Amino acid sequence: MSNRFYRFLCLTICVGLIAHPSQAARAPTASNASGIAWQAGMDKMSSVSVGLDHSCGIKLDGTVACWGLNVDGKTDPPAGVFSKISAGADHNCGIKQDGTVECWGNDDFSQSTPPGGAFTQVSAGGSHTCAVKSNDTVACWGLPDDGQSSPPGDTFKQVSAGLLHTCGVKLDETLACWGNTLLPEVNPPDGTFIQVSAGAEHTCGIKLDNTVSCWGENDYGQLLPPPGAFIQISAGYFYSCGVRKSDGVVLCWGNNSDGQATPPGGSFTQVSAGYFHTCGIRQDGTVNCWGKNNYGQLFLPLVSR
């Protein structure tokens, strides 16, 4: 059985695309204008993260709001104040004020059952989760089949959980990735990086000079970032988006079947690429989302200003 066929099986079984058959087959790269929708930037948040068919964000008071398809309670966040949030395929995790991790949503592979202790950053992937502990080591939990939940014993400053692999930026600013070593997205380039983002079958990172490098599968041009300097990047499902350093403009490349790679104009501070939709935070703190909207994943609930 080929690696790519195995990954497709995981997409349909582990990630839950059987419930959404229209998403199971890859769509063509051409933009479908009827699938493009932009959420008017009305509500302010400090952070936003996009999953399969839902989105979550941290409001200005530190509480979490989620919107979109509510399977297994993934859009029903717990009460309390959070400092970090990460949306996976069908589960979410966040870091609370005391540094502990709390997760909600699907827990078929224990991806929503975090270990105890204090953490500084968390990343929810397809059916696994990884987080950086207060001692700079990484802990992972959830689906272990390809080794994506078995981090090395190095120390890290940032980690990103993808579909069947995970990558992190070590304290010496080099990269380490784990998962099926036969997959190209698990083999990072040499050099030093300030951020890494693991997608479905590709990974992108920002180097010290703020340029972007991507590796893995290149079905839709997701490995071909535009030139220039970026301050933040997010790898999604066969596409990626980044915030340009010079003016805060969001640029996206790769699969654009539902307008997920067609961002609105203006300046942003953060962007999160999901499977078929994307959300970003503008410089004034308002949130815009674009792409597929079959479950209301583009339209935020009313939140406190």
> Residues 275-291: pLDDT tens digits?
999 999 999 999 999 99
Q: Is the CB of residue 36 less than 8 Å from the CB of residue 291?
A: yes
Q: What average pLDDT is seen over the chain?
A: 88
What mean pLDDT do residues 27-50 have?
58
Extract long-range pairs of 185-194: CB within 8 Å, 24+ residues apart: 185/215, 185/216, 185/217, 187/215, 188/215, 189/213, 189/215, 193/169, 194/169
pLDDT grade, residue 300 (50/70/90)? Answer: confident
Ramachandran class of 221: left when φ > 0, alpha when ψ lies in -120 to 50, beta otherwise: left
Closest to 46 in 3D by CA, of 95, 91, 89, 13: 95
Residue in this structure with the two tokens 């940032």, named with its chain if needed: 158
- Whether 294 shows a pLDDT value over 70: the answer reads yes
Give 260's DSSP letter: T
- Rg, C-alpha atoms of the chain: 17
> Residues 58-89: pLDDT tens digits?
999 999 999 999 999 999 999 999 999 999 99
Q: What are the two backbone dihedrals, phi and then psi, of residue 161, each rounded to the nearest 5 degrees?
A: -95, 125
- Whether 179 shows a pLDDT value over 70: the answer reads yes
CA distances from 186 to 60, 200, 233, 280, 290 (A): 36, 11, 18, 27, 29
| Residue 144: exposure state from Cβ atoms within 10 A (0-12, 13-18, ≥19) | middle
Q: How far apart are CA 161 and CA 259, in angstroms?
A: 24
| Per-residue pLDDT, 28 | 30
> Which domains, and CATH codes, for the chain?
28-291 (2.130.10.30)
A 10 A CB-CB count for 168 gives 28
> Residues 211-268: pLDDT tens digits?
999 999 999 999 999 999 999 999 999 999 999 999 999 999 999 999 999 999 999 9
Q: How far apart are CA 15 and CA 220, in angstroms?
A: 21
